Amino acid sequence: MQQKYLVFGLSALLSFGMGSTLMASDKSSTYQLQQTVTAKDLIGRWDITMDENGKAVPSWLEVKLSGSRTLVGYFVGVSGSARPVSKVNFDQGEFSFSLPPQWEGGDQDFVIQGELKDGKISGTLVTSEGKKHTWTGVRAPYLKRTGAVTWGQPINLFNGKDLSGWKAAGPNQWVVKNGVLTSPKSGSNLISDQKFDDFKLYLEFKYPKGSNSGVYLRGRHELQIEDSDKNTHPSNVLFGGIYGFLTPSEIVALGPDQWQTMEVTLIGRMVTVKTNGKTVISNQEIPGITGGALDSKEGEPGPIYIQGDHGPIEFRKIVITPAKK
């Protein structure tokens, strides 16, 4: 029995390219085997819920193996884009890493500490301002779909008359005027009452010079809308990108004060984005939630939500076609 366990553990080590690290004694070898198997179990994507002063807020973590023995990754906080993690320290089921601040205040690095136990992770985060929060995490679902998709009937999420079917996430600044849904100034985000799983989404929108907005798919993945110059090198935080994750092939923007279109198809994690008639993201995987997500429950349907806290934005059409179950 002991011989079988040792062979299994050795194969796990070799899968990491770390067979040469085995010690001479049986005790040291067993410890190294157990530690490496646990480190391997940390690799993957994790949907995190953080307790921020009594409020549940979403985060996300991906851990990868770099080379034969170094763990690296990406982390998404409450705001901002996916942040690269240069090294995840690991020892006997406990792990830690640090990150520089992005949009936050404070002058110290974020420090994340966690423990992997019974297939789940939990721990603490100390912010750049020295505030400490606890969190828990579960493995993110694959969301792999099989078979052909059958589409239902299109739904006009905006009726051209009022805010029926929508609610503001705070004090409401959204108005409807001459058939156009408008946020005239920075204020609250707007969330649809209905929730959706897989869908096709069609948008017609307009923004003034220098403005910034976005549309969150299932309330978790931001499709960036902002005043990006069409001659700028594409980036995943500019027009047409899935914020912090997926970069459009080019910026097909018409510029400020022009009516523009976006067409999005989301099936599982796979997304296709067409801006102003040109496909700029073709069937690419969205790894996880983006900053500003409503929650981290990626396996559940979610609403469409429009960012209204970064600047003025207008919509005259928001049409969604859900997939039939």
User: pLDDT, tens digit, for every residue of 190-226?
Assistant: 999 999 999 999 999 999 999 999 999 999 999 999 9
Cβ atoms of 12 and 36 closer than 8 Å:
yes
CA–CA distance, 205 with 166 (Å, rounded to integer): 17
Asked if residue 58 lies in contact with residue 4, where contact means CB atoms within 8 angstroms, the answer is no
C-alpha distances out from residue 137 to 134, 187, 189, Å: 11, 31, 26
- Cβ count within 10 A of residue 221: 26
Q: What is the DSSP string of 88-137?
A: -EEETTEEEEEE--SS--SSS-EEEEEEEETTEEEEEEE-TTS-EEEEEE
Can you give the C-alpha Rg of the chain in angstroms? 22
pLDDT of residue 132: 95
Question: What's this model's pTM, rounded to 2 decimal places?
Answer: 0.86
Tens of each residue's pLDDT in the chain, 325 residues: 444 433 333 334 334 434 333 333 444 444 444 445 468 899 999 999 999 999 999 999 999 999 988 999 999 998 888 999 999 999 989 999 999 998 888 889 999 999 999 999 999 999 999 999 999 999 999 999 998 999 999 999 999 999 999 999 999 999 999 999 999 999 999 999 999 999 999 999 999 999 999 999 999 999 999 999 999 999 999 999 999 999 999 999 999 999 999 999 999 999 999 999 999 999 999 999 999 999 999 999 999 999 998 899 999 999 999 999 8
The phi and psi torsions of 234 (rounded to 5 degrees) equal -60, 150
CA pair distance 83, 237, nearest whole angstrom:
12
pLDDT confidence of residue 8? 36
Average pLDDT in the chain:
89
